[in-house]
Amino acid sequence: MSKEIAVIGSPEFTTGFRLAGVRKCENVPDDEKDESLDDAVERVLDDEDIGIIVMHDDDMDHLSRGPRNAVENSVEPTLVTLGGGAGSGDLRGQIKRAIGIDLMEEDD
């Protein structure tokens, strides 16, 4: 059974993913992030159909300790964060961890 991608974030963040065909999106408006983001992350972590979770890097600051640790240490589903500029996580490394291979390996 193939795993799905889930996107968690503001409606503005999730809209592009919906247009690209991602069916599992958790919209959390900016003014509700401190109250609702933890619940959205826990719902996605509990969904056995999810293989990759996509979030904006800035939203990680709004998670409380428990959900933050759970999503950061989860192997499946794997967290991929986007945005945040130069200080954000290594996308190549996140994708490698998510699918198990490095798509950008160079042949010698």
**Residue pLDDT, tens place only, 24-81:** 999 999 888 888 999 999 999 999 999 999 999 899 999 999 999 999 888 889 998 8
pLDDT of residue 32: 87
Q: What top-level class would CATH report for the domain 4-99? A: alpha beta
The domain ranges of the chain are 4-99
pLDDT at position 108 over 60 = no
CA distance 50 to 72: 15
pLDDT at position 86 over 60 = no
CA distances from 79 to 25, 31, 69, 107 (A): 14, 23, 11, 28
**Where residue 103 falls among pLDDT bands split at 50, 70, 90?**
low
Nearest to 17 by CA among 49, 75, 56: 56
What's the predicted TM-score (pTM) here? Answer: 0.75
pLDDT of residue 49: 94
Cβ–Cβ under 8 Å, residues 72 and 55: no
**Residue pLDDT, tens place only, 87-102:** 444 656 666 666 666 6
